[in-house]
């Protein structure tokens, strides 16, 4: 185990493999990413700082990386702030609660499903055409209708539900991480950060 990836719940179970598909080709040897799941964003915020210190004290990790959706995070964001300002404030706030150089907090803007929107081609034919407008700037799918809700609406229009665990995992298996990296600036920040940490640790 080289990274502990703190996530909100089981819906992010496919994220470590997705991140590794981008990271490993850029490293001299594969890096491990172990998900640490919480019971939603509320449980994450209540318990993450204590768990970070416990895991880092083991001495086996490059770093603990936190990943939350910006949408739905129960944080007191500054009023009328932009997405960029919310991200910066929330990252600083959570890292301050831990105050450890090997804890790095990141956020998916506005949800991890935004990364999926970067490639409409991975979706069923009846849905992909409706996603073309969002493909170049998927992180702009925002608080008013975040990515998962958009997918729910589009799937329902075809007569079925979007299932985060089942459909989300299958879609992440198809998604080219390089494409998502190019089109999702906040995902790029996360991957670049993990790459730099891994290389500094000799990977």
pLDDT (tens digit per residue) in 78-98: 989 999 999 999 999 999 999
Omega of the bond leading into 195 within 30 degrees of 0 (cis): no
Where does the pLDDT of residue 128 fall: very low under 50, low under 70, confident under 90, or very high at 90 and above? very high
Tokens of 196: 């730099």
Residue 9 pLDDT: 86
Mean per-residue pLDDT of the chain: 95
Average pLDDT over residues 139-154: 94
DSSP state of 102: T
Domain that holds residue 47: 3-200
Residue 13 pLDDT: 86
Whole-number CA gyration radius for the chain? 17
Instruction: Write the CA distances from 138 to 110, 114, 123, 150, integer angstroms.
Output: 9, 5, 15, 11
Number of domains in the chain: 1
Q: Would the pLDDT of 65 be above 80?
A: yes
Average pLDDT over residues 12-35: 96
Where does the pLDDT of residue 10 fall: very low under 50, low under 70, confident under 90, or very high at 90 and above? confident
Where does the pLDDT of residue 2 fall: very low under 50, low under 70, confident under 90, or very high at 90 and above? very high
**C-alpha closest to that of 154 among 175, 132, 176, 136:** 132
Q: Would the pLDDT of 45 be above 90?
A: yes
Please list, in sequence order, all residues whose beta carbon lies within 8 angstroms of the beta carbon of residue 62, skipping any fewer than 6 positions away: 2, 3, 31, 102, 197, 198, 201, 203
Lowest mean pLDDT of 7-16, 19-28, 120-129, 182-191, name the range: 7-16
What's the CA gap between 149 and 161, in Å, rounded? 11
Q: Could you tell me how far CA 4 lies from the centroid of its own chain?
A: 13
């Amino acid at each position: 185990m080289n990274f502990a990836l703190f996530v909100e719940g089981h819906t992010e179970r496919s994220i470590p493999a997705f991140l590794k598909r981008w990271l490993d080709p850029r490293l001299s040897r594969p890096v491990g990413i172990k998900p640490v799941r919480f019971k939603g964003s509320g449980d994450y915020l209540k318990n993450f700082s204590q768990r970070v210190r416990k895991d880092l004290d083991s001495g086996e990790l490059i770093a603990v990386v936190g990943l939350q959706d910006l949408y739905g995070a129960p944080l007191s964001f500054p009023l009328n702030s932009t997405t960029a300002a919310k991200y910066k404030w929330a990252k600083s706030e959570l890292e301050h609660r831990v105050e450890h150089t090997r804890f790095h907090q990141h956020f998916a803007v506005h949800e991890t499903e935004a990364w999926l929107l970067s490639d409409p081609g991975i979706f069923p034919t009846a849905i992909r055409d409706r996603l073309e407008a969002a493909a170049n700037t998927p992180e702009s799918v925002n608080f008013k209708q975040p990515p998962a809700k958009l997918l729910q609406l589009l799937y329902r229009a075809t007569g079925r539900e979007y299932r985060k665990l089942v459909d989300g995992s299958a879609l992440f298996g198809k998604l080219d991480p390089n494409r998502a990296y190019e089109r999702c600036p906040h995902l790029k920040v996360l991957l670049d950060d993990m790459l730099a940490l891994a290389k500094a640790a000799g990977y």
